[in-house]
A and B are shown apart, each in its own frame.
Chain A
């Protein structure tokens, strides 16, 4: 197989292990490209991509933009804070106006879960979901699992714990889907208030004790507390959260085993992860960022490759 089944990347849920394998193999080639003296290939030279961000983003947006430019695509950027969305324009109208300017692909981040799925039913352009509310963040999950494959050789059979605010995290849900499809064992860990009630229905383990969770795993993916999505108080204070669920060197040393540390960023140093852990030799946080560009190049390339 040399192409993806779908013309969109809306979520990991729609992919199978074969699709993910193809994305990884293609990303291997692009990782090689971005480590050359000239980091650019002309593949998407006749493609225009709009990065439509209705929510803030630094890493994902830069990573997408860099991936697009390294593929020689024309890029336009849109952010809702400086747009007519503030004047009451609907999502579909905004996107149709962008498409009227002959745009081929849309990379979209939106606060509402399902926004890219809605859009995919109404427009012809390829859509890449760059995060939809608390639902999915497929490219993050792909770069996370790609980074695990890179550091451990294979994702299958690995034990991965996701620690933190699972309830509000699209990274967690996409990671759970991706890890399961690739044959890893998954556990989530956090305060009971930040773990969705029926999450064990996805076939994963749940723990409320970070030490127990870390002792079980090979890899820990640590998420930040998403205060901006929390309408009510889920725990007494950040300090208390940090004391019970923060990962620091003393905790890792007490386990007597080596664990690979991941974090999708942005990091709140001293809250969910201490500096000595984030910067340690077992941390692959910056590898994740580098792999993010290669993974996004692979996705854009494979989606654009469908015959015009």
Chain B
């Protein structure tokens, strides 16, 4: 199995700082903007981004966790159902600017489900998408990220392996893997 390192802790930290600069550029004081991390792994990056933004912005950064399991379009089409995670959104998003945050953008279907899921909390004024890794040329539906940590060109049999400290790892490592058993 071949693997190539995309991010280590140092590089990830630089990228998150850069993404936060871009967010501040567009959202200024974050007065009318909320962050929604997508379960399961988008929430870790959303936490890190919220933490970084707090050092740059005086307003409170509103952060929620959104689970899309019940909104997915592959229900009954998988061998086993996905295990749902908690949705924790204790604010309404009516007329707010929402920044959806996920680790990897691949087919775009999770993002579609997330947009469906967020409507339960109101009608947002605007929705933007922030992803750490954009797997280019892999989209099933027309969804693109507003802010991207890194764009990578992958083929379908490759996988992105995310190992981060929030999952009890010693350091952050994000890999691209050739899955030989599939190839």
Contacts and interface: CB of A to CB of B under 8 A. Distances in A.
Real binding pair: yes
A131 to B, nearest CB: 26
A33 B69 CA distance: 12
A305 interface: yes
A2 B71 CA distance: 17
Given A32-B87, A37-B120, A43-B70, A307 B82 contact: no
Nearest to A28: B86
B76 A29 contact: no
Contacts of A307: 76-79
Contacts of B80: 2-3, 305
A41 B70 contact: yes
B70 A42 contact: yes
Contact of A26 (B84, B116, B120): B84
Contacts of A44: 75
A100 interface: no
Interface residues of B, number: 24
Nearest to A304: B76
Size bracket of the A interface: 20 to 34
B64 to A, nearest CB: 12
Contact of A308 (B77, B81, B83, B86): B77
A304 B70 CA distance: 12
Interface in A274-296: none
A25 B69 CA distance: 13
B70 A32 contact: no
B70 A36 contact: no
A38 B119 contact: yes
Nearest to B89: A36
A29 B120 CA distance: 14
Contacts of A66: none
Interface in A3-51: 3, 25-26, 28-29, 32-33, 36-38, 40-44, 46
A75 B112 CA distance: 26
A306 B76 contact: yes
A302 interface: yes
Interface of A: 2-3, 25-26, 28-29, 32-33, 36-38, 40-44, 46, 71, 301-302, 304-308
Report, nearest first, the 9 A-B pairs whose CB atoms are least far apart: A305-B81, A41-B70, A38-B120, A29-B84, A308-B76, A2-B83, A43-B70, A3-B80, A2-B80
